[in-house]
Amino acid sequence: MNLWHFLAAHRAEVVQLSLEHLFLVAVSTGIAILIGVPLGIALTRRPALSKPILGFANIMQTVPSLALFGFLIPLNIYLFHVRIIGGIGARTAIAALALYALLPIIRNTFTGINGVDPAIREAGRGLGMTDRQLLLQVEVPLALGVIVAGIRVATVIAVGTATIAAAIDAGGLGRYIFRGLRMNDNTLILAGAVPAALLALAADFLLGAVEHSFGRGRRRLNRRHAVAALGAVVVAVVAIVVFTLHSGASRRIAVGSKDFTEQVILGEIVAQTIESRTGLPVERRFDLGGNLAHDALVAGEIDSYVEYTGTALTAILKLPPISDAREVYRRVKAEYAARFHVEWLEPLGFNNTFAILVRGQDASKLGLKTIGDIAKYAPKWRAGFGQDFVSRPDGYEGFVRAYGLKFAEVREMDLSLTYRALADGQVDVIAGNSTDGLIARLGLMQLDDDRHYFPPYDAVPVAREETLKRYPELRAALAALGGAISLEEMRRMNFAVDGEKRAPRDVADEFLRRKKLGGGG
Amino acid sequence: MIMNGQSTAIEFQGAGFRLPDGRALLTGLELNIARGETLVLLGRSGSGKTTTLKLINRLLDPTQGRVLVDGKPTTEWDPIRLRRRIGYVIQEVGLFPHFTIEENVAVVPRLEGWDDERIHNRVRELLDLVGLDPARFATRYPRELSGGQRQRVGVARALAADPPIMLLDEPFGALDPITRREIQEEFRSLQRRLGKTMAFVTHDVGEAFLLASRIALLKDGRIVLLGRPADFLASRDPEVVAFVSCLRSPAEIVAAP
């Protein structure tokens, strides 16, 4: 399916995501204007403050967005009983985007006002204008072109950065991009990226026109303009307050997932099981990037998601890897209860461990069966690993040590891109997931972990103790999933979504019906 | 003293001004400006002329001595009230580029809360006074005017609320010589009609002789000579002589070896 057909077929959804995107950008930039312009003006009156404040705004801009999200999610900051920062969703995305937008707005307000011809300022003072009159009637109107230029830069940055907001379930066009990356689907990636780029161009053009009309010094800030501008910003702020109140209003069971296909399918399976077995309304907060699902669970933003024992042990608890599956389960169950008040329920039945993959034709040509077999080819091979694999303690470093491997080159890239890179011959070996549907689709071969290096990654639903206590029927519903999904079944479901482009919701429903576990989401 | 208070508009009593870094721009200034008088402050660049003006409308406060306006020290005046009683025309004109000519002239009346009708009439009157046709110029922007026209608008703006005192800081400095001479002549007749107290800064000795009731020649922040133009021609002080020599006629210049 090409991009045009896709956009035509999903018109309503594209419009919806674009509106979500615009909402994120408009509210965050509006907040940044409300804070940044007065702050920039204050700095012209107290120049001693300009260094620390501009320095802070500068640093904020350099913080990677996922790291900033991870930092903001556990926070609980309230303003008049309304939570303004913290948790997953639009609230935190807006806070992060507003922080990014601050620098250009503060800086341009500051330099714009300082750039007003001193003779004009002195004339104003000499005529008997108060500082306030000078500011509002002379300095701000003359600096308006420069201030709007700052807002323009901030807006264009926000349009781009807002795509990442999909990683914390804040919506927007980033959903298509993340989904496309996950499913290895270029059309889907473009369906997110192209409208986002068009939004950025449109915002740039519109604000450029506004900037131009002010920049010539032709117009001045008359009362009507000022009231209209202020009104627009106030409406934006009211919108976020309403939005924030609304999102925290109703009590449902919130089921989360990480940001890859298997997780979304498992999220659906958990959600549909809860729906059909308990009748409780379920809110789906899927596609949470990095360890954000864990952060969200501990913060009480979600009630349950599916975690892997090995991931919990090493990446979250930071404990050394253990190879015995039952021992790992016992350990994480005890630690989570003590540290997070989170309970590990029954394992689902499959182990999603790292799969060392090569192209099928290489495997048959060179007779590769186990990881040990590649040792002699490795010095001429390029390896492609996900950021996750490279950084975790049970990942790359221990892996090459255990098998005595030395690659010609190691390329670090997004996990979802490694399969395509391997199939296209850009790299020769990757570390994928054993349950990945793409393994079969792209004709890849999984090598046997004959030295048992990789620890077990049994998939297990985790849930907040508090929620389980309040809804005892939840425990029974989740227990029904114990041992219900085999590795083969998981691979098939992954392939149904990644390979056959079917909706995770339908795949989950079909699975639950076939296993007579219920279903019907 | 009471008599003096009535006839003296501005009085410098040992006034001086020193920058935070310790550099003295003005030292021990003793000077009275009578009502209706035009006092010209003459001197080279950096001699303290502009500093003297800024002490009058409190853009600067004296660091030594005091300056009295209408018998009251400037430091006791509310700076905003003080400045609205004092018209101010500066060297670079300082018209607001985002205001029309009409709006520029109307700045002080508007700050003073006049009604629209009165402002409108006053602007017309003033533009006529400085020789600009209101019908042609009122709705234009400063950048659409020539330097001489802008300078006239600057004078009109300073006169708008009919302040008893006018401060003019090299108002005609940036004009070409012919426009400059025209505008000086016009200004002289305006001066006679309005009868305002004026402090006028220039480094052009010809302009000083043309417009001054009295001239104060400043050098390095001190008064070298204070007197009528005739007193200047009689003085033997080297700084005075240096300035007066600029007045030589074209015939003398051609005849010089």
Residues B158-167: pLDDT tens digits? 888 889 999 9
pLDDT (tens digit, 9 = 90+) per residue, B167-210? Answer: 999 888 777 888 888 888 888 888 888 889 999 999 888 888 88
pLDDT at B254 over 90: no
pLDDT (tens digit, 9 = 90+) per residue, A155-197? Answer: 999 999 899 888 877 888 988 888 787 666 788 888 889 999 9
Q: Using CA atoms, how far apart are residues A508 and A485, in angstroms rounded to an integer?
A: 11
Closest to A138 (Cβ–Cβ): which among B81, B86, B96?
B96
pLDDT (tens digit, 9 = 90+) per residue, A278-310? Answer: 888 898 988 887 778 898 898 888 899 999 998
CA-based nearest residue in chain B for residue A124: B94
A150 with A128: CB under 8 angstroms? no
User: What integer is the mean pLDDT of B134-151?
Assistant: 90
Copy the structure tokens of residue B79.
């700076």
Indicate the helix (H) or strand (E) that contains A60.
helix A50-62
Closest to B80 (Cβ–Cβ): which among A120, A128, A218?
A128
Please tell me the predicted confidence (pLDDT) of residue B6: 54
Closest to A128 (Cβ–Cβ): which among B91, B94, B111?
B111
Please tell me the predicted confidence (pLDDT) of residue A420: 84
User: What integer is the mean pLDDT of A486-503?
Assistant: 88
CA-based nearest residue in chain B for residue A213: B98
CA-based nearest residue in chain B for residue A143: B98
Closest to A127 (Cβ–Cβ): which among B81, B88, B141?
B88
Question: Which residues on chain B are in Cβ contact (under 8 Å) with A220?
Answer: 98-99
Question: Which residues on chain B are in Cβ contact (under 8 Å) with A141?
Answer: 98
Question: Which residues on chain B are in Cβ contact (under 8 Å) with A129?
Answer: 80, 107, 111
Nearest CA distance, A187 vs chain B (angstrom): 50
In the structure, what pLDDT confidence band is assigned to residue A222 with cuts at 50, 70 and 90?
low
CB contact under 8 A, B97 and A130: no
CA-based nearest residue in chain B for residue A125: B59
pLDDT at A245 over 70: no
In the structure, what pLDDT confidence band is assigned to residue A363 with cuts at 50, 70 and 90?
very high
CB contact under 8 A, A126 and B90: yes
Q: Does B60 touch chain A (CB under 8 A)?
A: no
CA-based nearest residue in chain A for residue B78: A128
CB contact under 8 A, B81 and A117: no
Residue in B107, B151, B162 to test binding to A, most A beta-carbons within 10 Å: B107
Q: What is the CA radius of gyration of chain B?
A: 19
Q: Does A338 touch chain B (CB under 8 A)?
A: no
CA-based nearest residue in chain B for residue A120: B94
User: What integer is the mean pLDDT of B219-244?
Assistant: 87
SS (H, E, C) chain B: CHHHHHHEEEEEEEEEEECCCCCEEEEEEEEEEECCCEEEEEECCCCCHHHHHHHHCCCCCCCEEEEEECCEEHHHCCHHHHHHCEEEECCCCCCCCCCCHHHHHCHHHHHCCCCHHHHHHHHHHHHHHCCCCHHHHCCCCHHHCCHHHHHHHHHHHHHCCCCCEEEEECCCCCCCHHHHHHHHHHHHHHHHHHCCEEEEEECCHHHHHHHCCEEEEEECCEEEEEECHHHHHHCCCHHHHHHHHHHCCHHHHHHCC
Residue in B57, B92, B96 to test binding to A, most A beta-carbons within 10 Å: B96
pLDDT at A313 over 80: yes
Q: Using CA atoms, how far apart are residues B41 and B52, in angstroms rounded to an integer?
A: 8
pLDDT at A521 over 50: no
Q: Does B12 touch chain A (CB under 8 A)?
A: no
CA-based nearest residue in chain B for residue A122: B94
Please tell me the predicted confidence (pLDDT) of residue A305: 96
- CB count within 10 Å of CB A246 equals 9
Q: Does B107 touch chain A (CB under 8 A)?
A: yes
Nearest CA distance, A148 vs chain B (angstrom): 16
Nearest CA distance, A103 vs chain B (angstrom): 27
pLDDT at A476 over 80: yes
pLDDT at B4 over 50: no
Higher pLDDT among residues B254 and A193, named by residue? A193
User: What integer is the mean pLDDT of A365-376?
Assistant: 92
pLDDT (tens digit, 9 = 90+) per residue, A86-138? Answer: 677 788 888 889 988 988 999 999 999 999 988 899 899 999 999 999 999 99
Q: Using CA atoms, how far apart are residues A131 and A253, in angstroms rounded to an integer?
A: 55
Q: Using CA atoms, how far apart are residues A87 and A243, in angstroms rounded to an integer?
A: 14
Backbone angles phi, psi at A78, to 5 degrees: -110, 145
pLDDT at A236 over 70: no
Q: Which of A1-5, B107-111, B155-159, B211-215 has the lowest mean pLDDT?
A: A1-5
Nearest to A169 by CA among A160, A178, A161: A178
**For all residues of chain A together, what is the average pLDDT?**
85
In the structure, what pLDDT confidence band is assigned to residue A57 with cuts at 50, 70 and 90?
confident
Nearest CA distance, A117 vs chain B (angstrom): 8
Nearest to A438 by CA among A456, A413, A421: A421
User: What integer is the mean pLDDT of B3-19?
Assistant: 80
Question: Which residues on chain B are in Cβ contact (under 8 Å) with A218?
Answer: 98, 141
Nearest CA distance, A29 vs chain B (angstrom): 27
In the structure, what pLDDT confidence band is assigned to residue A84 with cuts at 50, 70 and 90?
low
Higher pLDDT among residues A229 and B71, named by residue? B71
Q: Is the dihedral of CA A479, A483, A487, A488 positive or negative?
A: negative
- CB count within 10 Å of CB A230 equals 11
CA-based nearest residue in chain A for residue B90: A123
Q: What is the count of residue pairs from A and B with beta carbons less than 8 Å apart?
A: 66
Residue in A127, A142, A223 to test binding to B, most B beta-carbons within 10 Å: A127
CA-based nearest residue in chain B for residue A129: B80
Closest to A125 (Cβ–Cβ): which among B59, B98, B141?
B59
Q: Does A132 touch chain B (CB under 8 A)?
A: no
Q: Give the percent of chain B with pLDDT over 70.
A: 94
CB contact under 8 A, A123 and B91: no
User: What integer is the mean pLDDT of B73-86?
Assistant: 92
pLDDT at A497 over 60: yes
CA-based nearest residue in chain A for residue B81: A128
Please tell me the predicted confidence (pLDDT) of residue A235: 72
**For all residues of chain B together, what is the average pLDDT?**
87
Nearest CA distance, A102 vs chain B (angstrom): 27
Q: Using CA atoms, how far apart are residues B55 and B169, in angstroms rounded to an integer?
A: 13
Q: Does A226 touch chain B (CB under 8 A)?
A: no
Closest to B98 (Cβ–Cβ): which among A122, A126, A220?
A220
Copy the structure tokens of residue B81.
């009230």
Q: Does A222 touch chain B (CB under 8 A)?
A: no
This prediction has a pTM of 0.68
**Which residues in chain B (191-250) have CB-CB distances under 8 A to chain A?**
none
Q: Which of A13-17, A70-74, A337-341, A457-461 has the lowest mean pLDDT?
A: A70-74
Nearest CA distance, A228 vs chain B (angstrom): 20
Q: Does A129 touch chain B (CB under 8 A)?
A: yes
CB contact under 8 A, A125 and B83: yes
